Structure 1
C-alpha cells in the first residue's frame, strides 16, 4: 500500500538505511509519485557520485531536449523535483562536461549555483551545487558537449542504410552525467519524462513509454514524448534516434531496427514472448508493461543493455538460428534483477549481472531445453576457471563484492561466478525452495537499491533453515571472499562429452570432427576454445577448410577463429580481421582481438596500429577507452 506523507517523513523513510516499509520499502510523495529509499549503511555509500541524497535528492527528472546532428550536441532544459530535509540549503548533482547556462526554481526565480572542479579519475566529472533557497523544483538550462561519452553520433556512412545519421546513448555505469544533470548513482532512483525533438524523418525511442504519435513542431522537426512512471536508477535513462522501423513479435513485444536489418532482427527475437512467459512463471509478473528492443548499428559497445521497455541490442548476436539469443534472455531477466532490484553501488555489480546470468540460464532451459542450458552453463564455468588461472585464486578482484577500488578482472566474476553462486545454492537447497526465495527477494525489494550485505542477510534469514545450513551454503565465502568456494556445483561433464572427445582427438592426431556442422553453437565454441592454441599455418588452413570457420555467420564463433588465427600470426586471416574490426564495435570482440595482435610484437604491432587508425573514430567511447590502453591513440608514440 502506498500512502501520502509529508516531505520530511518521506525523507526520513527514504534515508532509513536497509530498513524497508510496506511493498519494497516504497513510499509516495504528496503528488502521488513513488519514492524509493536511500540506503545509508556504510557499504551502500557510492563514492562515484557527488550527491548527498540524505540531505537533498532528485526524485523526478523532466527533460525537454533538442537533438542537433550537425553540431552533434544535445541541449535544452532539465527540470528536477527535489526532496530535501527541512534544513537543507543546497542540492549537489553530477555533471561531466555540461555547459550550464541558467538555473532557476519552478517559478523562474534565479538560483545561485557553482560547478566544482572536474575529477577525471573514473570519469567522475564535476559537482553542480545549487542553492535551493526553499525551492523544491530546479530548472537547468544546459547543453552537452559534442564529445559526451554517453552519446555516439553516427554519420550516415556508419549506418546500414547510409542515408541518415544515427544517435544512441549508453549510460552505464556513470556516463549519463555527460548529457543529463542529475544525481547519477544507481542508489538514487528517479522517475522521469522527456520531450525530444529530432529532424525528420528520424524516429526517436527511449527507455520509457512513448506517449502518442510524434508531433510536427516546424523547421522540419518532430517532437517525441516519453514517460517512465517507475523510479529507476538514472543510468537506465536511454535514447536512440535514427532511420528505424518497428515490427511486433508478440502482443507486448517488438523490435526496432534499420529497415535493411529489421526482417533478420524480427526473426532472431521471435521467441521473446515465450521468454517473457517463462520468466514470469519463474519469478513473478513482468512489471514494465511492454518489452521492446532496438537492434543498434554495429558500433554499440555491448552485447545488450537492459534499458527498461527498450532493450538495446548489438546486431552481432544475429546468427540466423537464434543460437545467440540467450542475450535476449539475459536482458529480459534484468527486468527483475538489475532494473527492479538494483545494486546500490557498482562494487556490488554482481547483484545485477550474476543473478541475471543465473536467471538467463533458467529462461533458456524453459524455452530451449536442459541440454542447451547445461552447455551454456558449462561455458560460463570455463570462463571462471580461465580467469582464476590467469589472475590467481586469491586475487581480491575475484570476490563478488568489491569496494570498487581494485583492479577489475573481467566479466567472469560478476556474471559467471555470480551465476554459479546462485546455481550452487539452488542445487543445495532444492529448486522449489530456491525459486520461492528469489521471487520474494524481487518482491520485497522491488524498485529499491540493494547491497551484498542485504542479500547475504536475506539468504540467512529467508532461505537457510538453520545457522548450520547457512554455513554449509558458504554464503560469506561466495560473496565476500576471492576465488571459488569448495562447495561449487560443477557443470555436468556429459554436457560436452562428445565435444571434449573431439578436442582430444584433434589434439592428439589432428582428427577434425565430422559432425561439426550439426553441432550447437555452444558445442562449436567449446571446441574452438579448447583445441591446442599453437597451430601452424598449414594446420589452420586445414581446419578452416574442414569446418568453414571463416565463413560462419555466427559472430561468437567467428571471433574465436580470428583470435586463434591471429595468435598464430596467420597472415591469410588479417584481411578478414580488419573487415570484422571495421564493422563491429562490440568491446567483447574488439578489445581481445587488438590485444592478441599487440601481443604478437613486431608482426602484430603495425597491423593493430594500421587497423585502429581507421576504426577508432567509429567506436563508442567505451570501446575506444579499452583499446587505447592496448594500442594507444593513433599518432601517439
Structure 2
C-alpha cells in the first residue's frame, strides 16, 4: 500500500468517500465547531480506511444503521505537515458517522472578535482550506484526487447568517414577534434562538474547495447569476457591487471561450482584510480580499482569475499539489483571455508583463532550491504553503502560451475546449495532460521540448516577454528612472494601478533613496489606495534603505493579511538587512500576528525564522 498523495494519508487501495453530510454547531466564545459527519462510500468496505485530520478531537465513530461503535485510532504523533491519520476499521460498511470537534488552533479557520470586523458589532468566522487545511475542519481524504459531494447544516447564533461553496436549500430561525419565521418550525428550528441554514453541493469537488463564512453579512444582486456579499457594512457592499458589476459579462465571455458554466451561480464574498489570498475560487461562492476593491473596476482582474477557475481547477483539478500548475497555469491563461476580451489587448499584455517580472523574481527566490522552479515538482516532506509561488501560475501560463503560438489560437481554442469537456469533474496529473496533448496535437512533442518545460528548472529559452506599445513604453520609462528621469504627469495621466505596478517592478535596482523620495513626493505612491502599487513601492523603499517609509510599512502590515503583501514586505525587512530592521519586523509581527489568518501566520513565521 502507498499514499495516493504526498500530503495525505489516503491509501491508493482504499475507496474514496463520495458524499458527506455535515452538521456544525458554531461556538464563537470557544472558537470551535462541534460537529458530526455522515460519510458514504461507493460500496461496502472491510478493513482499514484512513482519513486526514489536524487539530481535531474525535469523540465517536458509529455505524449509522446499528449505532454500534466502529473501532478507530489516531496516529499518536502528529506529522508536522499531514497532521494525524484517523484509521477506521470497517466491517463491510458503506456508511459511517463521526462525531468530532475542531480546535481554536484549526489552520483553516479564522475566528474574528467583533472589534476585528468591519461592523465591530458581531463576531465572524471563515475558512481557507487550500492547500491541505480541510482536514482541520472535518476528517476527510484531504487530497484533490478525492472528489466529494456534500450537504451541511450550519447552526449559528442569531442574528448571524452564513454562506457556503454550495446552494442554500433552507434557512430557519425562531420567529421574531410580529414577523413570520424564515421557515416553518421543524427539525431545523432551534429553541435557544439560534439560526440553522442548510446547504447542498451536488457537483463533486476536491476538499480544498469546501468553504463557509458566518457573521454579519450583507448582500446585493449585481447580475442574473451573481450576488455580492460583504462583511464590513453598506459602504463595503456598495463599493463591491460597483467594482464587480461586470461579472455577468465575464461569465458569458468565459462560456464562449471554454464551454458551459457548470456551477449555476457565481456569487462573490468580500471578506475582512485578514483573508490571506487575493481570491479563492470556491465554486458558487468566490472569496475575495477587500484589497481588490480599487474603485476603478481594475479589481475585476482577480474576479476574472477566480471565474476562470470554474473551468480550469474546479472542473478539472490537479491530482496532487505536485501538479499545481494544471490548476494555476491554465487559469492564468484563461484569465488573460477573458481580460483581453473585456478590457483589451493592452491590459492583457500589462498583466502578462507583471507576471513575467514576477516569474523572474521567483527564480531569484528559489536559486538555492531550483526544484520549485519546475512545473512538475517533488513535494514529499514539503509543506505546499511554504513553496507557494508564481511559478505554477506564470511558467504554466508561458507553457500554454508557447503551445498556442506553435499551433495558432484557433487550433489551441479547439484543443482547450476538448480538454475541458474530456476531463471535467475529474482530477488528473501532468502525465495525463501530456498524453492528451500529444494525442490531440500530432507532432507537438517534436516542435516543443515538453520535457524541458515540465521537468526543467528555470525559465525555458522559448518563453516570451510580452510585446505591446503600452508595455514597451512603461518598461522603457522605468529603465530611465535611475538615469534621473521620472515620468512626466502627461505620460502617466491615463495610468491606473497596473501601469504603476509594472513601472515600479521594472525600475533597475538598486535605487537611490533620494530618487525614490522624489518620485513619491510627486505621485504619492506610498499612499496609494491600490495595494499592488503601494506594496510594490514600499518593498522597493525598504530594499533601498529608505527608513522614512518604515512607518507606512508597519501600517500596511497591520491593516491587511493578504500573503501577497506580507511575504515581500517581511522578506524585504529581514533579508540582507541590519539587526535593527530585523527587530522592527519581529516586533510588527508580534503585534499584528493575532489579526492574521493561521496560514499567513505560518508563512511569516517561516520567513522570520529563516533570517532572524
Verify same fold: TM over 0.5: yes
Quick check: 2:486–2:519 contact (8 Å CA) kept in 1?
no
CA distance in 2, matches of 1:159, 1:190: 32
Name the structure 2 match of 1:607: 584
SS of the residue 1:377 aligns to: helix
Are 1:48 and 2:48 an aligned pair? no
Are 1:457 and 2:435 an aligned pair? yes
Are 1:439 and 2:417 an aligned pair? yes
Name the structure 2 match of 1:526: 502
SS of the residue 1:307 aligns to: coil
Q: CA RMSD in A?
A: 2.1
SS of the residue 2:297 aligns to: coil
Quick check: 2:6–2:380 contact (8 Å CA) kept in 1?
no
Quick check: 2:44–2:92 contact (8 Å CA) kept in 1?
no
Name the structure 1 match of 2:199: 226
Relative distance call for 1:628 and 1:394 in structure 2 (3 A) is closer
Aligned pairs (5 A) from 1:88-487: 88-107=46-65, 108-122=67-81, 124-216=82-174, 217-258=190-231, 259=233, 260-392=235-367, 395-405=370-380, 410-462=388-440, 464-466=441-443, 469-487=444-462
CA distance in 2, matches of 1:118, 1:435: 49
Q: CA deviation at 1:499?
A: 1.2
**Residue by residue, what CA displacement relative to the aligned partner does 1:184-233 show, whole Å, maximum 9, x if unpaired?**
11101110000001111111111010113344422221001100011111
CA distance in 2, matches of 1:251, 1:387: 40
Q: CA deviation at 1:551?
A: 2.5
The runs of at least 4 consecutive aligned structure 1 residues that moved more than 4 Å come to 406-410
Q: CA deviation at 1:351?
A: 0.4
CA distance in 1, matches of 2:163, 2:573: 38
Relative distance call for 1:490 and 1:506 in structure 2 (3 A) is closer
CA distance in 2, matches of 1:481, 1:533: 28
Q: CA deviation at 1:622?
A: 1.1
Are 1:73 and 2:28 an aligned pair? no
CA distance in 2, matches of 1:176, 1:132: 23
Relative distance call for 1:436 and 1:394 in structure 2 (3 A) is farther
Quick check: 1:149–1:178 contact (8 Å CA) kept in 2?
yes
**Residue by residue, what CA displacement relative to the aligned partner does 1:293-329 show, whole Å, maximum 9, x if unpaired?**
1000000111111111000101111111122321111
Name the structure 1 match of 2:531: 555
Q: CA deviation at 1:352?
A: 0.5
Quick check: 2:44–2:94 contact (8 Å CA) kept in 1?
no
Quick check: 1:65–1:74 contact (8 Å CA) kept in 2?
yes
Name the structure 1 match of 2:184: none
Quick check: 2:161–2:216 contact (8 Å CA) kept in 1?
yes
CA distance in 1, matches of 2:289, 2:365: 28
Aligned pairs (5 A) from 1:557-636: 557-599=533-575, 600-632=577-609
Quick check: 2:259–2:417 contact (8 Å CA) kept in 1?
yes
CA distance in 1, matches of 2:24, 2:60: 15
Quick check: 1:56–1:85 contact (8 Å CA) kept in 2?
no
Quick check: 2:4–2:10 contact (8 Å CA) kept in 1?
no
Relative distance call for 1:393 and 1:479 in structure 2 (3 A) is farther
CA distance in 1, matches of 2:592, 2:367: 34
Relative distance call for 1:591 and 1:542 in structure 2 (3 A) is same
Aligned pairs, number: 589
Q: CA deviation at 1:479?
A: 1.6
CA distance in 2, matches of 1:409, 1:47: 14
CA distance in 2, matches of 1:458, 1:406: 30
CA distance in 2, matches of 1:376, 1:359: 12
Q: CA deviation at 1:505?
A: 2.8
SS of the residue 1:442 aligns to: helix
**Residue by residue, what CA displacement relative to the aligned partner does 1:414-439 show, whole Å, maximum 9, x if unpaired?**
00000111111111101111111111
Q: CA deviation at 1:45?
A: 3.0
CA distance in 2, matches of 1:318, 1:263: 10
**Residue by residue, what CA displacement relative to the aligned partner does 1:113-158 show, whole Å, maximum 9, x if unpaired?**
1112333332x01111112122211001110111111100011111
Quick check: 1:173–1:235 contact (8 Å CA) kept in 2?
yes
SS of the residue 2:97 aligns to: strand
TM-score, with length taken from structure 2? 0.92
Quick check: 2:7–2:380 contact (8 Å CA) kept in 1?
no
Quick check: 2:171–2:195 contact (8 Å CA) kept in 1?
no
Task: Out of 380-389 and 219-228, give the one that drifted further.
Answer: 380-389
Unaligned runs of 5+ residues in structure 1 are 1-39
SS of the residue 2:62 aligns to: strand
Relative distance call for 1:390 and 1:141 in structure 2 (3 A) is closer
CA distance in 1, matches of 2:558, 2:348: 32
Are 1:504 and 2:462 an aligned pair? no
CA distance in 2, matches of 1:390, 1:97: 32
Q: CA deviation at 1:493?
A: 5.3
Name the structure 1 match of 2:181: none
**Residue by residue, what CA displacement relative to the aligned partner does 1:364-419 show, whole Å, maximum 9, x if unpaired?**
00111111001111211222223235545992221101121387655221000001
SS of the residue 1:560 aligns to: helix
**Residue by residue, what CA displacement relative to the aligned partner does 1:572-594 show, whole Å, maximum 9, x if unpaired?**
32222211111100011012111
CA distance in 2, matches of 1:459, 1:394: 29
Relative distance call for 1:580 and 1:140 in structure 2 (3 A) is same
Quick check: 1:82–1:137 contact (8 Å CA) kept in 2?
yes
Quick check: 1:400–1:418 contact (8 Å CA) kept in 2?
yes
Quick check: 1:516–1:547 contact (8 Å CA) kept in 2?
no
Relative distance call for 1:632 and 1:409 in structure 2 (3 A) is closer
Q: CA deviation at 1:55?
A: 2.6
